[in-house]
Structure 1
Amino acid sequence: MPEIVDDKKTVPAEDLARFDVMLRSAGRIVAFTGAGLSTEAGIPDFRSPGGRWSRMKPILFQDFLDSDEARRETWRRRFDMDGEMRRARPTRGHRAIASWIKAGKSPAVITQNIDNLHQASGIPDDAVIEVHGNTTYAACLDCARRYEIEDLRGSFAATGEAPRCDGCGGFVKTATISFGQPMPEIAMQRATQLAKTSDLFVVVGSSLVVYPAADLPRLARKQGANVVIINREPTPGDRYAHLLLRGEIGDILGNFVLESGAKP
């Protein structure tokens, strides 16, 4: 079990040096990111004190399907958070992870985040595996027709009614995964395969409490990968880590931007 570093102290230089060696010697790096990465971009997380769920109860997927009121409230909340989404920009942490992919050291990033900031940092869409979906667009739950959020705003403001699909009449929902909604099968298959074939698995800003995604560090270690967890607080997955780095994510990852074409 690695030594836990107090998050009120500077990360020891020897731990940063150890991570640098792991990063540069790895042939296949996979980052797995959570809400802690994007809080530094001004997007509140869900679970921590002051987070969204301390202020409002999450709406279950079945409630969305069953209740007009739940659908309206879901959309009201989505439009209320629009300012946060518009202002958010990729952080030093996002840019560092993007550099690993651009340098050819990492095939993709797995993320629980729904904010599109990995794509905004320059990572191609097909190299961002979103296991909890994406809130920057919406889709019909029946026919999967895509809708842009801005296109739905006017009708909601005018009528107060949750949008329905123009094509089939189905419910339109942001392309996120709600509690009780099936996980995206293809994304989870890709994430699991990446975890199993990585030789360095870096968890960044995830509380590691939401399954099945939270099991990915265990799978990576079981297959022989080095596991590093970068987070401000302890997580249930810390027992799988070879190295724990406690502190501000941008301050840590800002030291680990790789140049394109970097070699192991």
Structure 2
Amino acid sequence: MSLGYAEKLSYIEDVGNVGMVEYFDPSHVLREKIDQLAIMIKKSKHLVVFTGAGISTSCGIPDFRGPKGIWTLQREGKALPEASLPFHRAAPSLTHMALVELEKAGILKFVISQNVDGLHLRSGIPREKLAELHGNSFMEVCPSCGEE
């Protein structure tokens, strides 16, 4: 049986603020922000994107500090939800794929990610254009030679 994401994590005593409220913009505000983002991307000469948990939650990978986040549930003494999908079977989201298209078009130059889910690589972002700040759950490095 394959482990879900939460089961792969080590227990951490102090995880900071948890149970953080999620805010959602009204549709007209969201539309305006999307239009502004499109203009900024068009004008960009060197687009770099920084991603975090939010890009992968729609793929079935939980966040940590949100209302239903892993650390929030642990702190509240609640059971972690059963993985709806084994971690290794999560597929990239539409957002991941949009970033790939921006990279292929030569617009996106680099992706910096806090995620360990490997979805940027699976989506097609080239390894040399990706920094995974916390590592990658699916990547191992040889302790002798450093080869991935």
TM-score by length of 2: 0.68
Q: Is the 8 A contact 1:33 1:111 kept in 2?
A: yes
Residues 1-264 of structure 1 correspond to what in structure 2 (within 5 A)?
Answer: 7-12=24-29, 13-56=31-74, 83-139=85-141, 143=144
Task: Using the TM superposition, give the Cα deviation of residue 11 of structure 1 relative to its aligned residue in structure 2, in angstroms.
Answer: 4.4
Identity across the alignment (%): 36
Instruction: Name stretches of at least 5 consecutive residues in structure 2 with no aligned partner.
Output: 1-22, 76-81
Write the distance in 1 (CA, Å) between the matches of 2:87 and 2:145. Answer: 23
Q: Deviations over 1:96-129 (max 9, x none)?
A: 1111111111221000000110011111111111
Give SS of 1:126's match.
Answer: helix
What SS class does the counterpart of residue 86 from structure 2 fall into?
A: helix
Question: SS state of the match for residue 30, structure 1?
Answer: strand
* Structure 1 residue 146 displacement after superposition: 6.8
Higher CA-based Rg:
1
SS in 1 for 2:138: strand
- C-alpha distance after superposition, 1:118-149 (max 9, x if no partner): 01111111111111111113446x546679xx
What is the CA–CA distance in structure 2 between the aligned matches of 1:34 and 1:51, rounded to whole Å? 13
- Calculate the TM-score normalised by the size of structure 1: 0.40
When residues 49 and 10 of structure 1 are mapped into structure 2, their CA distance, relative to the original with a 3 A threshold, is same
TM-aligned CA distance change 1:56 to 1:16, over 3 Å: closer
Q: Answer whether contact 1:28 1:106 (CA < 8 A) is retained.
A: yes
Give the whole-Å Cα distance in 1 for the aligned partners of 2:25 and 2:34.
16
Q: Cα deviations across residues 45-80 of structure 1 (Å, max 9, x unaligned)?
A: 1112222223447xxxxxxxxxxxxxxxxxxxxxx9
Q: How many aligned positions are there?
A: 119
1: distance between equivalents of 2:115 and 2:47?
19
SS at match of 1:21: helix
CA distance in 2: counterparts of 1:32 and 1:97, whole angstroms: 11
Separation in structure 2 between the aligned mates of residue 20 and residue 145 of structure 1, nearest angstrom:
40
Deviation at 1:8, TM superposition (A): 4.8
CA contact (8 A) 1:137 1:146 kept: no
Ranges in structure 1 where 5+ consecutive residues have no aligned partner: 1-5, 58-79, 148-264
